[in-house]
Amino acid sequence: MRRIGETFTSAGRPLFIAFIVACDPDFESSVAAARALVEGGADIIELGVPFSDPVADGPVIQRADVRALAAGATPDSVFEIVRRMRLFSTVPVVLLTYYNIVHHRGISRFYREAGEAGVDGILIADMPVEESGPVMKVAEKTGIDQIFMVCETTSPERLEQILKNARGFIYLVSHMGVTGVLPALPHGAMAFVRYIREKTHMPLAVGFGVATPAHAAELYNAGADAAIAGSAIVSIIEKHRDDMESMKKALKNYAISMRAATNGPGGA
């Protein structure tokens, strides 16, 4: 069993997935942020590959991409962050990227280098499953889990294809729109989780808007296997970007609070 699947299987509880943008605000801070989140209890780290046009992301993560690119972020530096993470942790690492980055580097090269660095899964946010054949072949060859997003407007036909081809977990988008912290998750998100839960036994991870332990607990009670927090974490990094020690402390405390929600009602 691959590392992502093993993590879901062995945990015996829902997982907390933490998202950061690689090299935000710089390389060393990014490594430190990942370490703080792992020390706080994050089960999986999702690492965003900086991109100039991140169409799925809201202003918080867009600003992080700008900072990272200004700091010189490249796929090489992203892979190096993963290699550095592997010196202190075996938690699964998932890359969130866009197809242009993968295509420009070459599918085979991108996946080979990602696997060699220690990446466990890749999500290409703007790659439709209907056009994923070449990528899926390389992903299987390199042993990397290809992860797909599903939203409420995903057609039954596309959903069937995704459930057939996805590996690792299914990324459920909690609401239509871009990433960003929400004061409350839409009621429809819980019904959406239950709907997809009836379709598959694959782990379901929910992102977009997830920011608090209460959000996570609500999703777990609806049947989600993991909650993904991104903008809330990136906001912490943005706030403390000039003080690494404060950043690490705040990130670790946030991870501790989110991790605690996995042991609440419905989280055992």
CA dist 268 and 263 (Å) reads 5
Rounded to the nearest 5°, which phi and psi values hold at 235? -65, -40
Rounded to the nearest 5°, which phi and psi values hold at 226? -160, 150
Number of helical (H) and strand (E) elements in the chain, helices listed first? 12, 8
Is the distance from CB of 45 to CB of 86 less than 8 angstroms?
Answer: no
CA angle (5 as vertex; 221, 55 as ends), nearest 5: 75
The set of catalytic residues is 46, 57
Cis amide prior to 25 (ω within 30 degrees): yes
CA dist 242 and 29 (Å) reads 10
CA dist 6 and 162 (Å) reads 21
